[in-house]
Structure 1
Amino acid sequence: MHRFVSVCLFSLVLAILLGRPLGAECLNGDLSGDCRVNFEDVWSFADQWLDPAGSEADIVGDDGVDMADFAALARNWGKTRSKVIINEIHYDPDVKTELVEYVELVNRSAFDVDIGNWYFSNGIAYQFPAGTTLAAGGYVVVAQTPAQVASKFGVSSSLVFGPCVGKLSNEGERIVLRDAKGEQVDEVEYKLGFPWPTVGGPPGYSIELVNPAMDNDLGGSWRPSEPDSVTPPTMLIE
């Protein structure tokens, strides 16, 4: 397609989309595969304008790349859907002298994710080593004391990272995970009291998502979980 047409289409997208509010999850329009609908996708869409059916930018899947596909992209402008989420938090061990707090991450996609240099900016402090990969459907645990957590809960040491810095509040706290560029990947602000699960007494429950497909912003999506059997989630979504 001629460069002039691409630039004109890009300008049209700018004019229509800049005022749109950010959404909560990415659906159609993520052409770059980064789980965000942003200007990178706009450029890709512009380059495929009027391409035939079956093209990557044929979002609606009808008769080629046209205004129907543009509208589908526009509806999801600025939205994101994280592949990697915070799935479990062990913040109040029943044995208060043990340094076994941890945060579990799950990759709920069908693709491996490079989490090298990702880091926690709130709640705890920890940065993953460069080159770290979280396998499709896999999980990792970031622990206060990796050896203790691996031993106590029967987790493979290859899946336990740390030590992290900081102690999670028993009264509720905001945990934020960021990628290597500093962009927020996921956050959970857990609270004390209904609808959030009650933990802290024997046998030392953590809080865990009922299903990793659920919204981890909502207290009702979480349940008490006995962390002596830390395992991958039972159901994944792509």
Structure 2
Amino acid sequence: TVKQASKGPGLYNAVAALSAFDADLVLDHMNLTDNEANPLSARYSSIKITNSRLHSKVLGDLINVKYGHGYIENCRFTGNDYPDTDGIDYDEVTDGVIRNVVIHDFMGSNSDAIDIGEAALNVQIDSVLLYNITDKGVSVGQQSIVRLSNATMINTNLGVAAKDSSWIYVSHSTFYGVGTPIASYEKNVGHAGGNITVNHSLMSNSYDATLLVDDKSTLLITDSQSDNDTLSTVLNNQTGTIGFPAPGLYHLGLGTASFNNKGSNFFPEQPAPTPVISALYVNSTKIDSRTEFIELSNPGTMTLDLGGYQLSKGVTYTFPAGTLLKGGHSLLLVKNRFTHLEWLTNPSIHEWSEGSLANEGETVRLNNPWGMVVDQVIYGFGGPWPSVDNLDEKGLKLLGLERDNHLAANWTTVSYSSLTGLSTTTDHGRPTLYPNPCQGPVTVYLPDGSTSRLDIYDLSGRLRFSQQVTHGNTLTLNLPSGLYLAKLGEQLIKLMVN
């Protein structure tokens, strides 16, 4: 274990907690997680590090190797939220190796799990799990050449990216919840684009396009499958549901035998689940006694802190600090919290800032506090999504939190009252007024069809409305917005006027 180490006095050859310059360095079973500088830097050196743990509390790469050879195996890299901080950075490295590695939680902007550049040649990356990366899983640039196999990437902005006359050869890899799994493009004008070949790989639940390639670049994909965008069938590709057993829990059931020799079989751990969109109600007929809402659920067992999470598409809302969601529990984000009096004192009910859910369907997107997309549903009504009968005013409900919510087949229709746990009709056992809350006229309900006296008081006790009423009467109250106490016969009713 190396602790509390800082940089050395040299600006070039002593830039990390451990620095190598023109040296051969072998490290095994190292704990480099509590230092005042980046863990490891090597220049004009050959380094080998195995069975080790690395973390940094400062800005910069956890391992940076320039102009030499690097061999990394059986290591874990835990990130931070500083920008421009990569897990592994190889520059002008020849015959480098990265194998059996887990890299996770690099949350700062422009932070990659693995960055290969400056004409690094013949770098072999095999059996890696990369998750929660704000920029790229594997970035290759500046005329470098990389072979990537048996990689699993979850929740990264880009999966693999090639640019500036570089090449990536990708095989037997799985991309889940990645914005764009494969990206080949020109980054610097005049340096040409990237070149990528992909085979025997799986791409699922992509938040943007599955593939990105510009006119300066090449991309060849064969024997692979996507459940988002259509892949060319000419090269033995498939499009359609992949069938992971419990993707909502990031249990992808990885194993090449399960998916016709496609995808990764390297999955040494499951990332902690993120909140998922588990129900939607659109209120297409605009009934006053109902309101649009989105249900978020925690599919895991540990409590999630939602402070800073944002709904960024469909509707807009940022959860305040201290918003906690227990494992297996749900909360509602609603358009109008005053629709039901029970919601006013319920901390699990949040009212979104702006926007509405489109009747015809649209994208609803959830971002974490660092801006990463962690969940997205592009819902619709009717083929392939379940049809919602406007008369019944049903909503959409995910069939199980372990299921993939971006697939229409995993949703069903459920009544509004079942989704909210609240009745939206009159209580047939006692006199009442509906809708409540109201934004206009109210209707009197008397179970025996009789006549009764209706008196409405404000919270100061002042009588604001008084009238003899009959069952079925529709009344215009002309009251300011607020909470009132209504007495209908002997029945006391809390009435909310919006």
TM range (shorter): 0.5 to 0.7
Q: CA deviation at 1:196?
A: 0.8
Tell me what 1:216 maps to. Answer: 405
Partners of 1:127 and 1:181 in 2: how far apart? 12
The alignment of Structure 1 onto Structure 2 pairs a total of residues equal to: 191
Q: Note the residue ranges of structure 2 that are not aligned, 5 or more in a row.
A: 1-26, 31-39, 41-46, 50-62, 64-69, 73-87, 115-125, 130-149, 157-175, 178-249, 251-272, 422-498
* Superimposed CA distance per residue, residues 83-128 of structure 1 (whole angstroms, 9 cap, x where no aligned partner): 2110000013555345600000000011111110111111001111
Question: Is the aligned partner of 1:5 residue 2:54?
Answer: no
Which structure: greater helix fraction? Answer: 1
Q: CA deviation at 1:39?
A: 5.5
Partners of 1:213 and 1:156 in 2: how far apart? 30
Partners of 1:207 and 1:230 in 2: how far apart? 9
Partners of 2:281 and 2:347 in 1: how far apart? 19
3-state secondary structure, aligned to 1:125: strand
* Superimposed CA distance per residue, residues 2-53 of structure 1 (whole angstroms, 9 cap, x where no aligned partner): 64534432457x9788xxxxxxxxxx9476699xxx966x7xxxxxxxxxxx
Q: Which residue type is aligned with residue 177 of structure 1?
A: L
Aligned match for 2:127, one of 49, 62, 71: 71
Tell me what 2:331 maps to. Answer: 140
Greater relative contact order (CA < 8 Å, ≥ 6 in sequence): 1
Partners of 1:119 and 1:94 in 2: how far apart? 27
Tell me what 2:230 maps to. Answer: none
Distance 1:163 1:231, change over 3 A: closer
Question: Is the aligned partner of 1:166 residue 2:355?
Answer: yes
Distance 1:156 1:208, change over 3 A: farther
* Superimposed CA distance per residue, residues 34-87 of structure 1 (whole angstroms, 9 cap, x where no aligned partner): 9xxx966x7xxxxxxxxxxxxxxxxxxxxxxxxxxx615352135554521100
Tell me what 1:20 maps to. Answer: none
Aligned match for 1:114, one of 289, 305, 315: 305
Given that 2:315 and 2:352 are in contact with CA atoms closer than 8 Å, whether structure 1 keeps it comes out as no
Q: CA deviation at 1:229?
A: 2.6
Distance 1:83 1:110, change over 3 A: same
TM-score by length of 1: 0.66
Question: Is the aligned partner of 1:157 residue 2:339?
Answer: no
Given that 2:388 and 2:413 are in contact with CA atoms closer than 8 Å, whether structure 1 keeps it comes out as yes
Identity of aligned residues (%): 22
Aligned runs of 1:1-238 on 2, under 5 Å? 1=27, 3=40, 4-6=47-49, 7=63, 8=70, 9=72, 10-11=88-89, 29=102, 71=127, 73=129, 75-77=151-153, 78=156, 79-80=176-177, 81=250, 82-98=273-289, 100-149=291-340, 151=342, 157-230=346-419
3-state secondary structure, aligned to 1:71: strand
3-state secondary structure, aligned to 2:409: helix
Which structure: greater strand fraction? Answer: 2
Tell me what 1:53 maps to. Answer: none
